[in-house]
Structure 1
Amino acid sequence: MKTILVLGGTGKTGSRVARRLKAAGLPVRTASRAGGDLHLDLDDPTGWTPAFDGVTAAYLVEPSLSASTDHPSRIPRLVTEAVAAGVRRLVLLSAPRAGEDGHPLHAAEQAVRGSGADWTVLRPQWFAQNFSEGPWRPGILAGTLALPTGDGRTPFVDAEDIAAVAVAALTEDGHSGRVYDLTGPRAVSFGEAAGLIARATGRTIRHIDVGPEAFVERQVAAGASPDVARLLTELLVAVGNGEGATLGDGVEQALGRPPRTFETFVSETAAAGSWS
């Protein structure tokens, strides 16, 4: 097999995909705006050609929520460049409901599906690692996770499962033309999640519900654009409204095993000292 390109190779899923590929002894090239084997800026197509030299399979991810809303053509342009360069297998990290018109990643999905290459689309629910490596970690460390989710529940998916499915799709036959809905094995409320992390770490952690407008204002004050802040808030409010609690069977379909539990994620993350 020739080289596999991992876009976002220093991110939550890309780093795990690259690590698994390297452990299997496969040739891997990571690309990102910062770090990785080479610099790749989705806003600068002049630097894309070297990324695809000798590449036959690629893991694609839109790393920026704001870019996915403001510049939805970035991934479609990249897909065109990749196929022209000889890439024959594409695995796209997408999101729930991205098949619907108007979704920020709809154009990316359509581009991959119509590329002429073998393609697989991954639609994961909220990452469990958002509590340990992402936007909710500061709240966990501060002891108060303030989100507009109420008592809504969602089946957080472990990024390790996402990476395992991505590697299978990149390296094995039988995944072409598949859309995998990736979730954990059960839906968990943010309050329960905070409680599980609290017990595993010995910390006092609580989840409090905040109003949507207050949450938007907080995100804008932290540097998010108003459009991105509203989009993020809408997604979290949807959880509170009971949306996004449906379990997907993508992990089992792709890997032949159940997904990792949120409890396993918490115990392993706490043992690693990630919340210390």
Structure 2
Amino acid sequence: MILVIGGTGTTGRLVAAKLAATGHPARVASRRAVAGGVHFDWYDRSTHAPALNDTTALYLIPPVGDADPAPIMLPFLDLARRTGVRRAVLLSASAIEAGTPGLGEVQSMLGGMIPEWAVLRPSWFMENFVGDHPHAASARERGEIVSATGDARAAFVDPGDIAEVAVRALTDPTPHNTEHIITGPERLSYADVAATLTDIGGRPVRHRAIDEDALAAYHEKHGLAPDYARLLARLDTAVAAGAEDRTTTTVADVTRRPPRSFRDFCRDRLAGGLPE
């Protein structure tokens, strides 16, 4: 049994669907009630052991909005090991190095706690511009994307590609036992993204560049906790310095097909135009 934590989220629901489609037994763990799933809350430890019942593998989505998830995730992983979990795939981010404070601490310890493992380190999600992310809301409501990235580029990645790499890491006979840096096929600036949204979405979208302090305040204004807002703003500053200006062959290497481009992703998701 594979437990998909965050199984109703952006990548988790795709992982759960792909596992089901390929005949692998999986259970969705979520704070929301899901048919056939199990209740799970990172901050309610009474939900941890029941969710792990009969589980042998885990897809791990860290608690959303928590700048330092290690104190809650590491005890859970210890419990998972003691109850028979042999494989774990952790969703992290390309900007987070193993051993850095917060999620990087979980990355560095995963292989020592669970014998078969993989860490997924995707670049920024294409989904951020069409889903529930503040970028998507801003594009829809104000015709702009706000960032502190300047004119730097990132290789935005389709969540479907991340999910397929995750499923391979969860189910391949040979454990991956490595970190996977996952990117899309091309490096794009936020101005490039705005131009594609304008072209395919049918309404003008522009990129408005601000500095890190202004972006942290912007995120707080839109409901993020101050420490998490600062973390996201700091990551934008890293992008501005070139941290995400790269592509990798991970999707092709693991799945044997090329990653999807941002334009193709938008053609699919914005077939009816940019929502009002």
TM-score range relative to shorter protein: over 0.9
Partner of 1:141: 140
Distance in 1 (CA, whole Å) between partners of 2:272 and 2:15 is: 20
Shift of 1:73: 1.9
Paired residues, number? 272
Question: What code does the residue aligned with 1:86 have?
Answer: G
Partner of 1:250: 250
- Within the alignment, does 1:85 sit opposite 2:57 as a pair? no
TM-score normalised by structure 2 residue count: 0.92
Q: 1:51-130 counterparts in 2 under 5 A?
A: 51-65=51-65, 67-69=66-68, 71-130=69-128
Q: Is this contact kept in 2: 1:73–1:108, CA < 8 A?
A: no
Range that drifts further, 150-159 or 263-272: 263-272
Partner of 2:17: 19
Distance in 1 (CA, whole Å) between partners of 2:85 and 2:209 is: 46
Distance in 1 (CA, whole Å) between partners of 2:203 and 2:180 is: 36
Distance in 1 (CA, whole Å) between partners of 2:61 and 2:234 is: 22
Question: What code does the residue aligned with 1:228 have?
Answer: Y
Q: 1:1-276 counterparts in 2 under 5 A?
A: 3-36=1-34, 37-65=37-65, 67-69=66-68, 71-133=69-131, 134-142=133-141, 143-271=143-271, 275=275
| Root mean square deviation, CA, Å | 1.7
Question: What code does the residue aligned with 1:205 have?
Answer: V
Which 5+ residue runs of structure 1 have no aligned equivalent? none
Question: What code does the residue aligned with 1:170 have?
Answer: L
Range that drifts further, 264-273 or 136-145: 264-273
Q: Is this contact kept in 1: 2:148–2:210, CA < 8 A?
A: yes
Label 1:54 to 1:272 Cα distance change in 2 as closer, same or farther (>3 A): farther
TM-score normalised by structure 1 residue count: 0.92
Deviation track 1:149-173 (CA, whole Å, cap 9, x = no partner) reads: 1111100011000000011111112
Q: Is this contact kept in 1: 2:156–2:262, CA < 8 A?
A: yes
Range that drifts further, 29-38 or 182-191: 29-38
Q: Is this contact kept in 1: 2:200–2:273, CA < 8 A?
A: no
Percent of aligned positions with the same letter in both sequences?
A: 36
Q: Is this contact kept in 2: 1:155–1:188, CA < 8 A?
A: yes
Deviation track 1:206-258 (CA, whole Å, cap 9, x = no partner) reads: 11112222222222222322221111111112212222112122212211222
Deviation track 1:117-156 (CA, whole Å, cap 9, x = no partner) reads: 2111111010110111122111110211121111111000
Q: Is this contact kept in 2: 1:122–1:181, CA < 8 A?
A: yes
Shift of 1:110: 2.4
Distance in 1 (CA, whole Å) between partners of 2:121 and 2:179 is: 7
Label 1:247 to 1:267 Cα distance change in 2 as closer, same or farther (>3 A): same
Q: Is this contact kept in 2: 1:216–1:229, CA < 8 A?
A: yes
Deviation track 1:13-58 (CA, whole Å, cap 9, x = no partner) reads: 0011011111223221111222431211111222211111111111
Deviation track 1:186-207 (CA, whole Å, cap 9, x = no partner) reads: 1101111111111112111111
Range that drifts further, 39-48 or 213-222: 213-222
Shift of 1:266: 1.0
Distance in 2 (CA, whole Å) between partners of 1:167 and 1:272 is: 30
Question: What code does the residue aligned with 2:166 have?
Answer: A
